[in-house]
Each structure stands twice: as structure tokens, then as C-alpha cells.
């Protein structure tokens, strides 16, 4: 099951598992029409789902999680034995006594798989199973899937927006777009470019799509090889060019910043980074090396213990709420639901939230001005919503991100900090976001792109800085990027 974010894949699967009730239509399981009222009914029908998140209780141990929802009496020894048996049968290596909160994303997923297989389901649904996995873990997951299908005759529905794993792991493909099935085909006859096109509904620039191509090395290469050759010439170079940007004034100068977390751990350690006007600086790094702290710092969410932040030549008291925003630093936060937008307000309200002066007088909002402003921005940024008054919650991830982008860019910032701007977005939305960032740079905004997607950093940046353990450990210009050295820097090795 392939489709962009917001295409309706997860909703369809939630209907199958009884979490959402359909308003119309029918479901047949083994030829019989059924009504799936709740997850218990689904389980009785032999349907089980490995969820994207939400299905393990962190404070419990593995075996407690596995038996959760069973009707029988609690029997620790027996439950542990069954976990070990399943773990061995599928080569999953799961310890029944481990606490779930201490497991990695990959291990948690294996626990979920055990929990799911223990009920001997005949139909297993995997919802975006590789979004949190490393390439090796994804490879292992697919080998388990093959066993389940070929040796044990179970049916597997794999939901994904990653073309490579759909091509790699499935027999048949159904493509969804905007809540409808738009295509069904046999995997043998499918090509990456064709799938991408029917998924988005139009031809896509495959260079920006690279970030959406996932994790499995060999597949990524074969998929990537063809499109890269026919990408539009020079579309990925920002027109100002790296050397031109260096002559522009410095708009953001972060000097020797140290931020200490609540547990006394140094999140940023004497970190310095500069961004010129019209330049895209990519901050590459493995997740958890201080990216979040830097984003929080530049949003005035945390105060540094030492160092200074200079915006457009003026030193700013970074820890004072709103100080950096007032100085002209726009931010696309890492977690858009948490700090990027207010899900329960309308699209229009979200769009004007950062700059209410324009649409209010003496503290009273002018509804008409607000609506006009919202419609103007929705047009300019191609935001698809029923109306300006539609709740933010009802928008797809890509459209929510456009709202955040529109709000930040419409305030005409000097600096735009984009933290993981394309995380969780689909091909079309990634393409759009990349194009918008390039355009903003052309207009003279200094852009700091914080991303764990190396592909994205390399595609967009004029200059790449590498962060490791809260420090900048290396820097290279776009024209002398050495992938080997970059790899070592990312891994924390001096090079």
C-alpha cells in the first residue's frame, strides 16, 4: 500500500483493525462480509497490526507487553518461555525480561512483531515499519516478513511511502492518493519513476525525491541511478553560488555557545556557527548530537550558559522568550505538532499567530483582515485546506508544514532555521519544501538547515557543517565535499 502522507493509508488500516468505523462500504474477510467494531473483533478475525507507534507500554517489561490483552491468567514463567520461543523461531533476539523504555526503536518493533505473531494472525498489517529503523534492521525485518509469507502462508499488508521498500518487499502494489485507490499493479511490472508519478499525481523532480528514498542501500542506488541523470540541469545549485554568499554579510553568528541540559549533560559544547545572507548552511549529524538543543536555542526556548548569539550585527539575549524571533530569526521547529503549530486552531489563526499586529487593532482581532491575510498566504504557499477556518488538525503533514513555512517566511526573517523540515513528508511535499528554501535563499535570507537526512543536506547546502557531541567538528564547502571525510566526521572521528 503506497501513498503520500495524508493519502489515507493509515486511516484505511485503522478501519481494518477496528480503531475507526467506516461511514459507508463493506469489508470482506475470507469472503465473508464483516463488521469490525473494535480491536478485539479484528483479532478474532485473525487480523493483527504492527503499529507505527503507540502500541507498547514503556514502563512495562517485554513479557508484560506481550501478554497484555490476553484473557488468561498472568503467568510470568509461561509468558517468558513463549516470548523466547517466538524470538528464536524468527531470529529476533528479544529478551522477555527487559524493560521496554530501555530498548531501541528496532528492538521495540521486534517486540511488537512478537506480540502480533503470538496470536497466530492470518493477516498482518505493517504500518510504516521502517520509518524508525536502521538499514540493517530494515533488512532483517523484511527477511522475517518473507518467512511469515512464504513458510507460514500468512498475508502481509505493508503500508509505506518509501518506493524502494515497496519495490523490494512486495508482490502487489496498491497506490492511494487523497483517500482513493488510484492504481493497482504487480510489483514485477512496476518502476520507481512510474510509482512516484502515480503516487503524487504528476511527474516529480527526482533529485529532491532522493530524501524520500529510504534505507536499503542497493535499492536506493538502482532507483537513484536512472533519475539523477535526467534531472533538470543545475536546478539544485542555489543561484547565488557558494562564493557569492561568502561575500554577503553575516546574518547569524553563533559564538562559543554552551547549553547544559536538565541532567547536567552538555547539549551544546562551545559551539560556533555562522550563516551569511543568501546562503544555505547545512548542519549534518547523527540524531541526538545537539541538533535539537541548537534549534531550541535559536527559538529562544533554552538559555545558553555561555557564549553569544549575534543577528545582523547585534548581540541578542538569546534566553529571553521571543528575543530571537524579534531579531528576525524565523524557525521551522523539529516537531511541528509540538511547537510548530496549534492543532486545534484554524489554518488562518495559525498563519497569523506570529504576527498578530497586522490583523488586530488595540488588541482586538479584525476577522476580515485575518481572513484576507490567510487567503493570501494560502495562495502564495499553495496550502490545500477546505477553508481558512478548517482546523489545523484536519490538514495533512505536508500542508501543516506549509502553514508553518508560510507563517515564518511571511514575517520576512533575516535568518530561517529549518529543523528537519521534511521529516515525515512525502515526495511532493519534500520537493516543494526544498524549492521554497532555495527561493528564500535567493531572496537573501540566511538559512540554517538542520537535518539528519544527509542526502537532503548535500542537495541543498552551500556549506555543510558537521555536529557531533554538541560541537562543530568539521566544515566543507559544496564544491569540495569529500564523502569519506564527511562519513568519518559524522561518526565522531576527527578527519
Closest CA to 111 of 51, 39, 62: 62
Give yes or no for residue 52 binding another protein (CB under 8 A): no
- Other Cβ atoms within 10 Å of 175 Cβ, number: 25
Q: Which residue(s) pair with 360 in the sheet?
A: 365
Q: Which is nearest to 142 in space by CA: 152, 154, 129, 153?
A: 129
CB 388 within 8 A of CB 348: yes
Residues between 115 and 144 that touch another protein (CB under 8 A): 115
Is 37 a binding residue for another protein by CB under 8 A? The answer is no
Looking at residues 62 to 91 of the shown chain, list those that interact with another protein (rule: CB under 8 A).
64-65, 67-70, 72-74
Rule CB under 8 A: choose which of 43, 131, 208, 274 binds another protein.
43
When asked if residue 60 is in the footprint of another protein (CB under 8 A), the reply is yes
For residue 460, how many C-alpha atoms fall within 13 Å in the half-sphere facing its CB? 40
Residue 256 DSSP SS3: strand
Rounded CA gap, 356 and 194, in Å? 45
Considering only residues 404-463, where is the footprint of another protein by CB under 8 A? none
The burial of 304, by beta-carbon neighbours within 10 Å (0-12 exposed, 13-18 middle, 19 or more buried), is given as buried
Whole-number minimum distance, CB 383 to another protein, in Å? 21
Question: Can residue 168 be called a binding residue for another protein (CB under 8 A)?
Answer: no
Q: What is the number of residues in the chain? A: 495
Question: What separation, in Å, do the N-terminal and C-terminal C-alpha atoms of the chain show?
Answer: 43
User: Smaller CB distance to another protein: residue 54 or 202?
Assistant: 54
**Smallest distance from the beta carbon of 381 to another protein, in angstroms?**
25
Contact flag: residue 335 with another protein (CB under 8 A):
no
Stretch in the footprint of another protein (CB under 8 A) among 14-22, 157-165, 345-353, 484-492: 14-22
Cell numbers linked to 296: 531550541
DSSP code, position 391: B
- 58, 78, 382, 475: which one binds another protein (CB under 8 A): 58
Q: Which stretch binds another protein (CB under 8 A): 38-46, 311-319, 345-353, 427-435?
A: 38-46
- Say whether residue 38 binds another protein (CB under 8 A): yes
Residues 6+ apart with CB under 8 A from 194: none
Rounded Cα distance, 458 and 478, in Å: 8
- The helices-and-strands tally (H runs, E runs) of the chain is 19, 20
Shortest distance in whole angstroms from residue 279 CB to another protein: 39
Rule CB under 8 A: is residue 51 a binding residue for another protein? Answer: yes
Q: How far is the CB of 127 from another protein (least distance, A)?
A: 11
CB closer to another protein, 67 vs 280: 67
Query: What is the smallest separation between the CB atom of 16 and another protein, expressed in angstroms?
Result: 12
Maximum distance among all Cα pairs of the chain, rounded to whole angstroms: 72
376 sits near another protein (criterion: CB under 8 A): no
Q: Is 55 in the site for another protein (CB under 8 A)?
A: yes
Q: Smallest distance, Å, CB 52 to another protein?
A: 11
β-strand partners of 266: 260
Q: Least distance in Å: CB of 48 to another protein?
A: 10
Enter the DSSP assignment of 491.
T
- 367 membership: H or E segment, kind and range: helix 367-380
Residues 202 to 221 in contact with another protein, rule: CB under 8 A: none
Q: Is residue 338 close enough to count as binding another protein by CB under 8 A?
A: no
**Contact between 19 and another protein per CB under 8 A:** yes
Collapse the DSSP code of 98 into the 3-class scheme (helix H, G, I; strand E, B; otherwise coil) and give the result: coil
Judged by CB under 8 A, how many residues of this single chain contact another protein?
A: 28
The footprint of another protein (CB under 8 A) covers 11, 14, 17, 19-20, 38-40, 43, 49, 51, 54-60, 64-65, 67-70, 72-74, 115
Amino acid at each position: 500500500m503506497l501513498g503520500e502522507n495524508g493519502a489515507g493509508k493509515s486511516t484505511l488500516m485503522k478501519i481494518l483493525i477496528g480503531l475507526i468505523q467506516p461511514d459507508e462500504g463493506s469489508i470482506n474477510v475470507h469472503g465473508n462480509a464483516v463488521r469490525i467494531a473494535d480491536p478485539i473483533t479484528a483479532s478474532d478475525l485473525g487480523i493483527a497490526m504492527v503499529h507505527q507507534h503507540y502500541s507498547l507500554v514503556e514502563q512495562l517489561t517485554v513479557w508484560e507487553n506481550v501478554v497484555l490483552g490476553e484473557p488468561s491468567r498472568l503467568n510470568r514463567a509461561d509468558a517468558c518461555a513463549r516470548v523466547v520461543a517466538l524470538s528464536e523461531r524468527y531470529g529476533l533476539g528479544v529478551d522477555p525480561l527487559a524493560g521496554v523504555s530501555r530498548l531501541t526503536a528496532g528492538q521495540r518493533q521486534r517486540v511488537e512483531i512478537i506480540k502480533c505473531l503470538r496470536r497466530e494472525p492470518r493477516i498482518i498489517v505493517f504500518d510504516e515499519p521502517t520509518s524508525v529503523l536502521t538499514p540493517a534492521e530494515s533488512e532483517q525485518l523484511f527477511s522475517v516478513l518473507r518467512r511469515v509469507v512464504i513458510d507460514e502462508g500468512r498475508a502481509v499488508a505493508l503500508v509505506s511511502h518509501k518506493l524502494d521498500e515497496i519495490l523490494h518487499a512486495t508482490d502487489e502494489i496498491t497506490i492511494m492518493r487523497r483517500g482513493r485507490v488510484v492504481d493497482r499493479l504487480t510489483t514485477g511490472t512496476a518502476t520507481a519513476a512510474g510509482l512516484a508519478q502515480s503516487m503524487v499525481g504528476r511527474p516529480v523532480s527526482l533529485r529532491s525525491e532522493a530524501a524520500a528514498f529510504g534505507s536499503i542501500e542497493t535499492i536506493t542506488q538502482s532507483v537513484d541511478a536512472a533519475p539523477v541523470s535526467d534531472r533538470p540541469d543545475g536546478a539544485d545549485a542555489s543561484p547565488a553560488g557558494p562564493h557569492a554568499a561568502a561575500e554577503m554579510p553575516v546574518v547569524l553568528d553563533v559564538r562559543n555557545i554552551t547549553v547544559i541540559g536538565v541532567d547536567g549533560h552538555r547539549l551544546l559544547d562551545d559551539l560556533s556557527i555562522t550563516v551569511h545572507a543568501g546562503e544555505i548552511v547545512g548542519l549534518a549529524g547523527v540524531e541526538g548530537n545537539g541538533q535539537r538543543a541548537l534549534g531550541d536555542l535559536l527559538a529562544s526556548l533554552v538559555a545558553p550558559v555561555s557564549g553569544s548569539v549575534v543577528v545582523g550585527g547585534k548581540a541578542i539575549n538569546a534566553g529571553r522568550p521571543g528575543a530571537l524571533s524579534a531579531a528576525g530569526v524565523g524557525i521551522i521547529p523539529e516537531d511541528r505538532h509540538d511547537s510548530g503549530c496549534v492543532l486545534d486552531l484554524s489554518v488562518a489563526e495559525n498563519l497569523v499567530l506570529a504576527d498578530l499586529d497586522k490583523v488586530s487593532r488595540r488588541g482586538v482581532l479584525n476577522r476580515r483582515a485575518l481572513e484576507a491575510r490567510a487567503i493570501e498566504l494560502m495562495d502564495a504557499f499553495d496550502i490545500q485546506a477546505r477553508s481558512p477556518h478548517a482546523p489545523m488538525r484536519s490538514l495533512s503533514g505536508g500542508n501543516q508544514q506549509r502553514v508553518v513555512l508560510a507563517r515564518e517566511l511571511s514575517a520576512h526573517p533575516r535568518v530561517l532555521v529549518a529543523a528537519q523540515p521534511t521529516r515525515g513528508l512525502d515526495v511532493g511535499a519534500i520537493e516543494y519544501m526544498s524549492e521554497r528554501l532555495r527561493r528564500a535563499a535567493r531572496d537573501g535570507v540566511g538559512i540554517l538547515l538542520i537535518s539528519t537526512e544527509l542526502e537532503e543536506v548535500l542537495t541543498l547546502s552551500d556549506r555543510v557543517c558537521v555536529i557531533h557531541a554538541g560541537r562543530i567538528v568539521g566544515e566543507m564547502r559544496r564544491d569540495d565535499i569529500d564523502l569519506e571525510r564527511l562519513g568519518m566526521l559524522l561518526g565522531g572521528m576527527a578527519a
